[in-house]
Chain A
Amino acid sequence: MPREPFVSLFGRGNGQPGQTHPLPGQTPTSRNGTNRVLYTTPHTHTHIHRSSGVKFISPPLLPPNLAAVAYTTVIAVPQLSCRVVLQYGVRGSRLCHTTRARVSRMKLAHGVTLLPTFMPVATQAAIKGLTPQQVEGLGITLILNNTYHLNLRPGIKVLREVGGAHQLQGWNHNLLTDSGGFQLVSLSKFTKITEEGALFASPFTGEPTMLTPEESISIQHAIGADIIMQLDDVVSSLTVGPRVGEAMRRSVRWLDRCIDFHDKSGRNKAQNLFAIVQGGLDSSLRDECLDEMIKRRKKVAGYAIGGLSGGEEKGIISQCAEKLPADKPRYSMGIGFAEDLLVCVALGVDMADCVFPTRTARFGVALTFKGPLNLKLGKHAKDLNPIDPTCPCPTCSNGVSRAILHHTATHETAAAHAITLHNLTFQARVMGQARDAIMKGTFPTYLRGFFENYFGDAGYPEWCVNALQSVGVDLLEGNPEAKIVKGDGARWEHSRAE
């Protein structure tokens, strides 16, 4: 192998957010306008043979059991005269042997986030009741802000003055913004979609206002998140008929306008645009959308799966995740229940967000591996144990009792904060343990153990059993008597903003 300049992605640098890795001879910002998408692993040095595009991972640095799968192809994307800020990849060793789950590192301008991950929602540039320092203290490296809300308040002027949402909220880690379109449709009564954009009444002045794809990207540029979303034409998952196809095709056209605007702005050096796959529950429309959007893979950094209203349509998620390019992150929007997250991970999803863990905390509901606890119930009034003695969150590790949380929930904001800290830690543990299990090759066992604990006597949701069956995991293995609950799972209005 010729001694080409190589890129070492791991084991260097001090892990500070925002730091790009120091590289011998070359930086990943690509000397010759080549956009590289790299497969990487935290334990190895990755050498990239630049002319052939083949990546070689130094075998001596690999754990013995991983050495056999040290080869993959790297995708070198010649385009966009900009520096790569999204490095994303998986390689065989980190794919689940059974399901389509995978573990990867996503490197953005504000550091690395391990995938799969759950993203807490900080609608107004704050996770409800917490300080950004606290969120950071939980080990969370990627949160979501809502474009619609930040555009209204504090507004673009303030965001530009302060230098973006990172600076506004003192958050030095990764940030994602949505396009604002979803909130527009769900929060504004008078939205009318035209080819030009979404026409709506300003919530402050009532004046007709147009949100175009270009405008959405422009606002997201002012916010400055590491990942931004295209404006899509959103229809409810209950919609049927020609409107679904129209919305899907329009979303493709709007994607082109977003790409165009984003590329010409120069902001694509620091911000990564994701496409959103639409097409409702119609798998042929989804296929058409996937084909179109995959054609634009060189111009987008990742893909979201949109237009689903909850946990039920796992067939669509499965279809999309299976077809989407392996080298791009896949983001399932508005997913937050633990069972949903794990099924999505098994189907190949890398990222998810939901307001559920933080909103439910404000009503006194703590999430645990044995199912959610409603701390408002009288049975917790005298329980001096923490929510979960094995939980590393500040609330549990400081011994804050269920009794004091029962006593204060819905009366004191401090109770909401305590449970929010716990619930976000729970979400992170569910995903962290999933990543560990995938790395160790024990993900199916983890899934069986998790579901057994979580649903216990209440019974397994049938849709989970079926969805996991489709990727080769039999939840009932060794437990043929297990109860199964009918129905196709969680449905809730996922406003994706609080």
Chain B
Amino acid sequence: MSSPSLSSSLLSSTFRFEIESITPRLGNLTVYRKSLKKLIQVQTPGLITCTSRGVIPHLSSDHHLNPPIKWIHVPFESFLEHSPPFPTLHPGPYPLHSSLGFRPEQHILSMSLRDPADDRDMPPNGNQFVSALCLRGVRKASPDQWRDYVSSVQPDLVLALSDIPFSSASLSQKRLTKSIERSASWLANILRPLPAPATGPDANLNILVHMAGGIIPAARQAFSQSLLDPLFDKEAEAIKPLTNLDEGVVGYSFDLAPLHKSLSPNLTLPTTSKSGFIPFLDLFSTPPAPSSTAQIISLIRTSLTPLPTTKPRIVHSAGSPHEVLALIRDVGIDLFDAHWAQRAADVGVALDFVFPAPVGLPDPELPRQVGHNLYDKRYSHDFSSFADFHPPPAYTPVPYTRAYVHHLLCTHEMSAHTLLALHNLAVLDMFFVSVRRVLLEEPESFSQHVAHFEQTYDEKLGVLAEARKLWTEVSLARGKGRLAREREKQNQDAQNINGYEYKK
């Protein structure tokens, strides 16, 4: 079962992906940092930790050493609030790591312009720009700017710009064609060799490509084909020595959020609020329906069919462990971001599921929920640990009980989300450990285990829906009064403190 491999180098790091078995895939992804003599290894299938505004929600830098946090994805758009974006100003090595407080010896950073989970309607992209969103509004980023940003912040992996139309309106054939052409041309742009840096042997980037084509199979096929077609003339000259785009790409990425949005037209969310864009928390309120996952699998297969099987396949914004398992089983996806699990911590849910699912549960207990809505009163006297089915690993905050976090949620203490974010990442990480173990030890029964998992755990993720509803109500009821009072007190502190920075 060995091992076509691929490597490329970014300054002093070497990126490598080896597939240990083909169907379903088991792999090993490494980044070797020559200057630090440090090998960072991510086994696949595995997880990617999401960031918001450059930080992992609810966690602090001392938590970044926890084992699940190895590959971190950074959407760049929030940094466009200032020009130039501050991470580009870092003078030292590993600028993106250093400016955000991540560790080059511990973390692999991938970067995209946009947040892949954000599927809100956006103003259309142009031939020479992508519309990105930051707090100060919409910003246009051109392919050349993107090259500049990427070459100055030096992420380990970067997603080429992609023209993903975000609009509720259904897409015309013409618009789709344009989207594919733009995405290919923007990929070609970033594949142009970078000017040689002042120091360092090599300035190649590890480029990931988002697989374009929306929900139209023919369009997806066309996009994949365009990666393989040889280029001619000026285009060929620009990417020399590459002969086609795919040669310059280290992996394939699939954003599920826009696909789910297109496949579930009934899922109409308010697109704007008084302040412009709707709050992120309201998004993503419904887990993917199995039918929608099945269509997505077929679309991904269409994209992957003509392409080499040796490169990692990344999925952003999978909505449930059910979907994750199906994508591993059917299209060999290697890496998944933890978005849904991290968001579960926002609304007070402690995940509690294992793979393979437990056997012999009595019928009335089925389907089980994938977690506990700890905001629910029923946990107020529950002094057991968060999860029923596995002891937490050593680095998780072991002694904390459901009753404690219930109390913290009721009193709006932020520590609740910190504990839950740590816990949920740990549960998801252990889920992937078990998936890999089954793939290694009994690959032939993987599908059976997936089927049993689907029967055991509620695919609608009812517990998340319930928690989200409750959370929204509580936030509204809590209102702005309390926050206003707190600000008032802070202002009094500020007037009285003797530091000159306050006086300005």
Contacts and interface: CB of A to CB of B under 8 A. Distances in A.
Contacts of A495: 489
Interface string A99-138: 0000000000000000000000000111111111110010
Interface residues of B, number: 64
Nearest to A498: B486
A162 B98 CA distance: 43
B415 A399 contact: no
B57 A373 contact: no
B39 interface: no
Given A133-B397, A398-B61, A400-B101, A407 B403 contact: no
A492 B496 contact: yes
Q: What range describes how many residues of A lie at the interface?
A: 35 or more
B60 A170 contact: no
A381 B62 contact: no
Interface stretch (B14-22, B78-86, B364-372, B434-442): B78-86
A134 B55 contact: no
B62 A411 contact: no
Interface string A473-498: 00000000000010000111101000
A212 B366 CA distance: 50
A158 B380 contact: yes
Nearest to A354: B493
B80 to A, nearest CB: 11
B504 interface: yes
B489 A493 contact: yes
Contacts of A247: none
A426 interface: no
Binding site secondary structure of chain B: helix
B497 A398 contact: no
B89 to A, nearest CB: 6
B493 A137 contact: no
A469 interface: no
A44 interface: no
Which of B62, B381, B406, B496 has the most A CB atoms < 10 Å from its CB? B62
B53 A418 contact: no
Which of A124, A381, A495 has the most CB atoms of chain B within a 10 A radius of its CB? A124
Contacts of A493: 489, 492
Contacts, number: 194
Contacts of A149: 411
Contacts of B57: 412-414
Nearest to B62: A394
Nearest to A127: B415
B86 A398 contact: no
Interface in A256-304: none
Given A373-B501, A411-B53, A461-B498, A124 B101 contact: no
Interface in B209-268: none
Contact of B54 (A157, A337, A365, A407): A407
A371 B418 contact: no
Interface string B88-100: 0111000000111
Given A126-B413, A153-B410, A398-B62, A415 B55 contact: yes
Interface in A337-356: 337, 339, 356
A417 interface: yes
A404 B55 contact: yes
Given A382-B82, A382-B86, A399-B98, A126 B415 contact: yes
Q: Interface centre among A129, A359, A407, A418, by most B CB within 10 Å?
A: A407
A124 B408 contact: yes
Contacts of B62: 134, 137, 394, 398, 421
Q: Which 9 A-B pairs have the closest CB atoms?
A: A400-B101, A372-B499, A129-B414, A126-B415, A170-B399, A394-B62, A398-B61, A371-B499, A124-B411
7 contacts: A124-B413, A131-B415, A131-B418, A131-B419, A154-B403, A371-B501, A401-B100
Given A130-B60, A394-B61, A416-B414, 12 more contacts: A129-B58, A129-B413, A154-B403, A310-B496, A373-B501, A395-B101, A399-B98, A401-B86, A401-B101, A408-B55, A413-B417, A493-B492
